Each structure stands twice: as C-alpha cells, then as structure tokens.
A and B are shown apart, each in its own frame.
Chain A
C-alpha cells in the first residue's frame, strides 16, 4: 500500500499545524494560535513534539521588544506529511472498491 500512517499526525492539532505549514513558508506562533483556536500551552507542547521529530524548524527573533517565533516545515516533515496524505487517499480509494 502506498503512503504510510504517521503517528505524529494522529493528533488533530499537529495535523492542522502541518497542513498550515505545507502551504505557507513561515508562520508565527500567534497566527497558528488564531487559526487553530487552541491555548498557548496546548499549541506549544504540540509544536515541541513536531520539532523533536524534526518535522518543523523554529526561528526565534525580536520585533521591537516582542519576541517572535516562526515555524517552518522541514523537508523531512513535508515528505512525512505527503506520505500521510497518500495513505489517507489510498484508504478512501480502497474503501470504495
């Protein structure tokens, strides 16, 4: 079977974070929080998890005095997500036949 089910994307917050990072080059923490409508702590722990698996990379900087954290999907993360998508699509196809 093509594609593979990735445990990292089992959680809906991580799945959504990765969806956003697939179509945007760089996204900051607050934008992610607004889009996902989750709490700071919840989002931070899921981001940490994705970062640990090296699916995303973090870039910290300052805008004026405010810290700004930006996230970006790594090549590895994009490949893993694509494989996960393929898996889901194949699952749907197989169920139909």
Chain B
C-alpha cells in the first residue's frame, strides 16, 4: 500500500483534472490581443481625428460613439469566435470533447460577470459616463477570469488580476483609459496567450 498522503493527493489531482476545462488555446489569447490592439489603434485614430477636425461637436460625438460601439462589438465577436475555433481544434487534436461539464462550468463562471459588465457598460453609456467604460469592461472581465480560473488552468487567475489592476488604474485615470484598454485587452492577452502556448500547446 502506498502512503495515505500520496493516495489522497492522487485522488485530489484526479478530481481537479476531471473538472477543469483544459482545451483553452493559448494562440486564441494572442489573436484576441492582436484584435484588441488593432481596435484600440482605430479608436485612437477616430478620437484624435474628431478632436482635431473641430466639426459640429454633437453630431460628431454621436457618430463617433456609434462607430466605437460597432468597433468594440466586432473586436469582441472576433475574439470569442477565434477562441471557440482554436479551442475546438485543440480539443479535437487531443481527442477531448469540447462540451464537457468542465467546459460548461468554465463558460458560466466567465460569462456571468462578463455579460453583467457589458450591460453595466451600456448603463454607463446611457447615463453619459463614457470615461468609465474602459475601467468597467476591464474590471468585470478581470473578475470573470479570476472566477473562471477555478475551472481551467490556474494561470488564468493571474491574467484576471492583471486586468483588474489595469481596470482600477483606468478608473482613477480615465484620460488614459484607451491606453489601459489596449494594455489590458491587447498586450496582456498577447503576453499571456504566448506563455500559455509555449507551456501547454506545443
């Protein structure tokens, strides 16, 4: 008989491995970061353009807001779509199934805070607190990642903490909100995605 400590450790690790979603693809994180950087660049260009042109401020403002909303949605859909396709590929390669109880738990842990954050951001737009949007999206996303990290690789928790910290910085310095957004959704994703790719996917 093996040592009882060893037996218990074995049992615990098996319970963990069977309840965690491990098909999350590192490359999809890198791609999401690239989309976010391109999106931030376009947003920066539009915002700078609208400020220097000095056209009628109100109509310009609404036009800009609509464009930014569409841009944000496109970035989000591309990122989620890529994550889905890459994770499906990875699960097929490892002959795992994508829709397991573990992946469902992971999804609900991530998306409940993220969807709440998205709706909250619409509330902010509705009430005119535009400067708080980068902070709100980053903070809710960070909380979602920390929550979801219980059901996938542990490192996701660190990414969540980074998003959370950048979000809080953006809350007190809304003037650099767009840079925070680019750092959190862009750079952090690329760096973490690349690290995960080298650690788990190769």
Assess the B11–A15 pair: CB atoms within 8 A.
Answer: yes
Chain B residue total in the interface (Cβ 8 A)? 20
| Bound CA span A88–B15, Å | 17
Main DSSP-derived SS at the B contact region: helix
**Pair A91/B18 contact, Cβ less than 8 Å:** no
Counting chain A CB atoms within 10 Å of each CB, which of B17, B18, B19, B97 scores highest? B18
User: Is B94 interfacial (CB 8 A cutoff)?
Assistant: yes
**Which residues on A are within 8 Å of B, measured CB to CB?**
10, 12, 15-16, 19-20, 22-25, 27, 30-31, 34-35, 85, 88-89, 91-92, 95
- Do residues B101 and A35 form an inter-chain contact, with CB atoms below 8 A? no
Cα distance A31–B17 when bound, in Å? 11
Closest 10 CB pairs of A and B: A19-B14, A88-B4, A20-B18, A19-B11, A91-B4, A23-B15, A16-B14, A92-B4, A19-B15, A23-B19
Task: Indicate whether B58 reaches chain A with its CB closer than 8 angstroms.
Answer: no
Residues of chain A contacted by B5 (CB below 8 angstroms): 92
B positions within 8 Å CB-CB of A: 1-2, 4-5, 7-8, 10-12, 14-15, 17-19, 94-97, 100-101
A31/B97 contact (C-beta < 8 A), A23-B19, A92-B5 known: yes
The interface residues of chain A, by DSSP majority, are classed as helix
Q: Which of B1, B10, B94 contacts A16 (CB 8 A)?
A: B10
Cα-based distance from A89 to B9 in the complex (angstroms): 11
Q: When A34-B95, A34-B96, A91-B4 are in contact, do A24 and B11 touch as well, CB less than 8 Å?
A: no
